[in-house]
Structure 1
Amino acid sequence: MDQQQLQTLRQMHVRQRIRPVVNQYEVRAVGPDGVPGPLLAFAQQKRLAFREQVTFYADDQRQQPVLGFKARQVIDLGATYDVTDAAGHPIGLFRKDFTRSLLRSTWHLDQPGLGVATGAERNMVVAVLRRIGDLPPWLPYHFDFTIDGQPAFSVVRKWSLRDNYQVDIHHPQLDRRLVIAMAVALDTLQSR
């Protein structure tokens, strides 16, 4: 799918593949019928990296990278992650707001020329329960991102034994590649 087609998407589905040692994710477009369709990206988290890094590929053969994100620092509670295209050119960045995340996980997604989308867990009760201890894997949680108080996109973890997310995009100019990176990051980085 080319960038122009990608930008028209309003909904995506992210599913983690169950693998013993590595995190892998399928990102699929969702058609008007609500059924996940073509593969948009296949992501794999780099193993044993000093800095968190996830690379997204055109398919699960991992031959053609399409984008990725990488932490700027080795260890940082409020780390910034740069998102780049296949050629390594910057698309944007995201970072965890450490202070606000003490109570309710909060992230900031920055797209040049558009501004900053701020996202937080929708449900305060679930946010507090997540801090008390491990939640059952089937319990959903939700993140809502806004730009200047207007809905930008949401990531909703579905009721499931494996990690499945529905991503709804509301802001037409928001780069879908940044949304894909953030949706996967919410799974790979949320417990850090």
Structure 2
Amino acid sequence: MSIYHYPLRFTFKITTLANDFVARDALGTPIFYAREKLLALRDQIKIYRDESKSELLYELISNKIIDFQQTFTITNTEGRTIGKVRRKSLRSLWKSTFKLMDAEDNHDFTIEEKNPFVKFWDSLFDGIPILGGLSGYILNPTYHLHDHNGQVLYEIRKEPSFFGRKFMVNKLTSLPIDEERLVLSIALMVLVERYRG
């Protein structure tokens, strides 16, 4: 049984300088608030219960200062490692790819961009005045989270909007999976990929 009511919607705030969003379930109930820490030596993302930031749930901290095969470790408030997410920077020029690992560093899931041509055209139009501003309504990437057998478990879709504000997350399986870790990994991917499309 799912711990969330799908689809989930991640909506970024445009009234703050931070890279942050509120995650809500299909009923519109907030499930967490994600905020990237600014001016930190290493990339750091904090997941709170809500926007009041009174209750910290998780931290996602990068292992490196330089973004090259960057790995984020997901920990809970007791300091226990939930899992890890490694961004494959070399392939990211063509297709965004994130390797998901469990607490013992076993690679068990992958998030990949469904259509790499969207990234190509987005990069091409990004620097063109007017057209670049409209790309958020035209070039919206879709990502799949799949297991080692290639079975797609989640679909993450960027929805048309200015400023890259909205993402929708659909669960496509009824199999028992570690939803907590997978949704946190998707949240990280969305923060990294927000400005695409």
Indicate whether the TM-score tops 0.5. yes
Deviations along 1:83-133, one digit per CA (max 9) or x if unpaired, are 112222111111111232221111111235885211211122212123335
Code of the aligned partner of 1:137 = G
Code of the aligned partner of 1:19 = T
The residue aligned with 2:129 is: none
8 Å CA contact 1:68, 1:181 repeated in 2: no
Deviates more, 1:62-71 or 1:180-189: 180-189
Query: Which runs of structure 1 show a deviation greater than 6 angstroms over 4 or more consecutive aligned residues?
Result: none
In 1, the alpha carbon distance for the partners of 2:86 and 2:16 equals 27
Q: 2:183 aligns with which of 174, 180, 183?
A: 180
8 Å CA contact 2:141, 2:157 repeated in 1: yes
Q: CA RMSD in A?
A: 2.4
Code of the aligned partner of 2:108 = V
8 Å CA contact 1:111, 1:174 repeated in 2: no
Secondary structure at 1:82 match in 2:
strand
- Structure with the higher fraction of residues in helix conformation: 2
TM normalised by structure 1 equals 0.83
Does residue 80 (structure 1) correspond to residue 71 (structure 2)? The answer is yes
The residue aligned with 1:16 is: 12
Deviates more, 1:174-183 or 1:43-52: 174-183
Aligned length: 183
In 1, the alpha carbon distance for the partners of 2:100 and 2:180 equals 12
Unpaired runs of at least 5, structure 2: 127-131
The residue aligned with 1:34 is: none
In 1, the alpha carbon distance for the partners of 2:6 and 2:102 equals 18
Describe the shift of the 1:40–1:20 C-alpha distance in structure 2 as closer, same or farther (beyond 3 A): closer
In 1, the alpha carbon distance for the partners of 2:184 and 2:125 equals 26
TM normalised by structure 2 equals 0.82
In 1, the alpha carbon distance for the partners of 2:5 and 2:102 equals 17
Q: 1:20: how far off?
A: 4.1
In 1, the alpha carbon distance for the partners of 2:107 and 2:177 equals 10
In 2, the alpha carbon distance for the partners of 1:62 and 1:45 equals 13
Q: 1:75: how far off?
A: 1.0
- Structure with the higher fraction of residues in strand conformation: 1
Unpaired runs of at least 5, structure 1: 32-36
